[in-house]
Amino acid sequence: MDLTRAKTALILAFLALNLYLGYQLWYSTENYLSYLTVTSGEVEEVLGQLEEYNYHLSVPLPRQSYTMSLLSVQARDLDHEELVQALFAGGEPAVQEQEGETVYTGQEGTLVFPGKGRALYTREGPAEDSQPEGQELQSRGEEFLEEKGLLLPGANFGGLYPGPGDRMRALYFQAYEGFSLYTSFLELHFQGDQVAGFEIYWLEPLEYSGESRYVLPATQALRRFLELAGPAAAPEEITGLSLGYFSRDYDAQRWDVVPVWRITGASGWVVYINAFSGEEETS
Amino acid sequence: MKEKLKSLVLGLLVLASLTLSYALWYGSPPYEFSKPMASEPIHFSSSRSLQAMITPDRVVFHRGEGLYHVFTPGQELFQVGVNLFKNCLDALILMKPLEVMEAAGPDAGENENDAEGEEEVGEHLPPAGIRLDFPYPYPLEAPGQPPVDIAQFFLSLEGDEAWLKTPGGDYYALTLAGVGRDLLLRFDRAEGLPTYRLADEEDLPPEAAAVFTREVYLPEGEVGLPVQRWEQERLDVDRLLKVFFIDMSLVRRIDEKDGAVIYTDGQKGVRIYPAGAVEYTAAVAREGLLSGSPALAMAGEIIALYGGWTAGLYLWTPPGPEPPESRQQLLFTPYAGGRPLISSEGGVSLSVSSRGVQSYFRNVMLPANEPQGEPQGMLPLISAPEAFAKAVEYALQERVGMGPLRIQGFYPGYYLREPLSEHKQAVTAWFLELEGLGLVVMNAASGLPAAVLRF
> What is the predicted pLDDT for the residue at A264?
93
> What is the predicted pLDDT for the residue at B420?
92
The model's confidence at residue A46, banded by pLDDT at 50, 70 and 90, is: very high
> What is the predicted pLDDT for the residue at B323?
87
Residues linked to residue A94 through DSSP beta bridges, in sequence order: A105
Q: What percent of chain B has pLDDT over 90?
A: 51
Angle at A153 between CA A151 and CA A156, to 5 degrees: 75
Q: What DSSP designation does A62 have?
A: P
d(CA B98, CA B101): 8
By Cβ distance, the residue of A21, A36, A211 closest to B249 is A211
Interface check for A31 against chain B (CB to CB < 8 A): the answer is yes
Window 250-269 of B, Cβ < 8 Å to A: 250-257, 262, 265-267
Closest residue of chain A to B268, computed from CA coordinates: A279
Q: How many residue pairs bridge chain A and chain B with CB atoms within 8 Å of each other?
A: 105
Give the residue extent of every domain in chain A. 35-71+208-281, 79-115+118-201
Q: What is the ipTM of this complex?
A: 0.74
Instruction: For chain B, give the mean pLDDT.
Output: 85
| Torsional class of A154: left (φ above 0), alpha (ψ -120 to 50), beta (otherwise) | left
The model's confidence at residue B117, banded by pLDDT at 50, 70 and 90, is: very low
> What is the predicted pLDDT for the residue at A2?
81
Interface check for A268 against chain B (CB to CB < 8 A): the answer is no
CATH of domain A35-71+208-281: 2.40.128.690
The model's confidence at residue B221, banded by pLDDT at 50, 70 and 90, is: confident
Please, what sign has the CA dihedral across residues B99, B105, B110, B115? negative
Residues of A in contact with B6 (CB under 8 A): 4, 7-8, 11
Interface contact B20-A18, CB threshold 8 A: yes
> What is the predicted pLDDT for the residue at B103?
44
Interface contact A253-B255, CB threshold 8 A: yes
- Cβ contacts of B17 within 8 Å, gap of 6 or more: A14, A17, A18, A21
d(CA B317, CA B291): 13
For A79-115+118-201, the fitting CATH number among 3.40.1390.10, 3.30.110.70, 3.30.70.260, 3.30.310.160 is 3.30.310.160
Q: Which residue stretches of B127-281 are H helix? A: 181-189, 237-244
Q: Average pLDDT for residues B256-268, to the nearest whole number?
A: 90
The model's confidence at residue B66, banded by pLDDT at 50, 70 and 90, is: confident
Domains of chain B: 50-198 (no CATH), 230-316+325-334+345-367 (3.30.310.160), 372-454 (3.10.450)
Q: How many angstroms away from the CA of B302 is the closest CA of chain A? A: 25
Residues of B in contact with A214 (CB under 8 A): 30-32
Q: Taking each helix axis from N to C terminus, what angle separates B2-26 and A3-36, rounded to the nearest 10 degrees? A: 30
